[in-house]
Amino acid sequence: MFKVLKTSGSARRGILTTAHGEVQTPFFMTIGSAGAIKGLIPSEIRDLGGEIILANTYHLHLRPGEEVVAKAGGLHKFMNWDGAILTDSGGYQVFSLSKIRKLKADGVEFQSHLDGKKIFLTPEKAIDIQLKLGSDIMMCLDECAPYPAEREYVEKSIALTTEWAKRCRTFFKKNRRFVINHEPTTNAPRLLFGIVQGGIYPDMRKKSAKDLVKIGFDGYAVGGLAVGEPKDVMFEVLGKTVPLLPKDKPRYLMGVGTPQDILESVERGIDMFDCVLPTRNARHGYLFTSKGVVRIRNEQYREDFSPLDPNCGCMVCQNFTKAYLRHLYISNEILSLRLNTLHNVAFYQNLMKGIRHSIEEGRYNEFKKGFLRNYR
């Protein structure tokens, strides 16, 4: 299911085989929480080089509901996407919606942010929803501890996460044959990933990783980082956590991040990434380029008739100027959202393509330094 093809230092170039095709690693997943990439159609993600997207269990459970998706033939068919899909379990919402949830030993009770209805999500329920969605990669339900968090809290948190991981694994093994199969393109099985937690405490991370590896998963995610801690702390914790994970399994850093964060994390052996930045920033007029971030609403671009990024081959950079993109944004035109999102997604996919190519050639460190030297 996963094979490392080449390394450059600790950076790894590989292939992850899913039920809906091979995915080249390292890769970045564009976010489609509710089964849609905001502003784009699925085929455009393919055209930009995307082979996998991320959807969210919690949001799809609220609407339209996993039963509706299952009746449609699974999420792939429902949204007309033929690539791989990873679904988050709802564990991040345990963290992000802390004001409207109650954490219990057997699960977590949410108050829906849509209508206030109470929802109780257990480890088994989280996997059951993902099975009905037809996910290619499913995530265990976990608790993402906040930053800062006292050691005693984190200790209890990872004990809960490990117990939930056991329950997820048991339910997954028993019920995986009931997964919705929408024209799988390979014979690869659906995959289940465990999530290493432990806050900023290296010994807690070590315990969490050891316990999860003992249970046994198809891949391992590092969760609970990029939640407010300083960047140097994040990379220190990541650097101590990655070596604890099996070399023959994919490693996923959840919720990261900026181009700089991705480069630093690949250098430490991470294979998989996701983040809202490309699409969310696009909607707010923050555009990624090889020279750094462009805030397209700024007055300096009013009569700038040059392309957004002359080093980018996307249709936006090939056909439109910064002045026009600024005009669309200032005028609140829907086309602004579309073009900005297209470009930002293309930028991230091109970044990952460059990363993979540099690892293949054994010059990742050189690539990283060159990118950061130009990026502002």
79 & 51 share domain: yes
Q: pLDDT > 70: what percent of the chain? A: 98
290 & 203 share domain: no
Q: Which residues are catalytic?
A: 88, 274
Closest CA to 371 of 296, 306, 292, 275: 292
297 & 262 share domain: no
Closest CA to 223 of 194, 192, 259, 187: 194
Q: What is the pLDDT of residue 101?
A: 81
Q: Among 274, 293, 325, give the residue marking a domain's end.
A: 274
Q: Three-class SS of residue 351? A: helix
215 & 333 share domain: no
Q: What is the mean pLDDT of the chain?
A: 95
pTM of the entire structure? Answer: 0.96
CB count within 10 Å of CB 8 equals 21
208 & 286 share domain: no
Q: What is the pLDDT of residue 187?
A: 83
First to last CA, the chain: 38
Give the tens place of pLDDT for each residue, 160-184: 999 999 999 999 999 987 776 556 7
The C-alpha atoms of residue 107 and residue 121 are separated, in whole angstroms, by: 6
Q: What is the pLDDT of residue 89?
A: 92
* Residues of the chain where predicted confidence (pLDDT) is lower than 50: none
The C-alpha atoms of residue 334 and residue 39 are separated, in whole angstroms, by: 9
Q: Among 240, 274, 308, give the residue marking a domain's end.
A: 274
27 & 104 share domain: yes
71 & 172 share domain: yes
Q: Among 252, 274, 296, give the residue marking a domain's end.
A: 274
Give the tens place of pLDDT for each residue, 307-356: 999 999 999 999 999 999 999 999 999 999 999 999 999 999 999 999 99
239 & 111 share domain: yes
- The CB-side HSE value for 41 (13 A sphere, CA atoms) comes to 2
299 & 209 share domain: no
- Return the structure tokens found at 183: 């024209």
Query: Could you give the number of structural domains in the chain?
Result: 2
340 & 220 share domain: no
70 & 204 share domain: yes
Q: What is the pLDDT of residue 116?
A: 84
13 & 112 share domain: yes
- Return the structure tokens found at 218: 């198809």
Instruction: Find the CATH number of the domain harbouring 214.
Output: 3.20.20.105
The C-alpha angle with vertex 190 and arms to 188 and 194, in degrees rounded to 5, equals: 125
Angle between helix axes 334-360 and 322-330 (nearest 10 degrees) is 130
- Return the structure tokens found at 7: 């390394």
Residues 6+ apart with CB under 8 A from 372: 260, 263
Print the domain residue range for 307. Answer: 282-374
Residues listed for the chain: 376
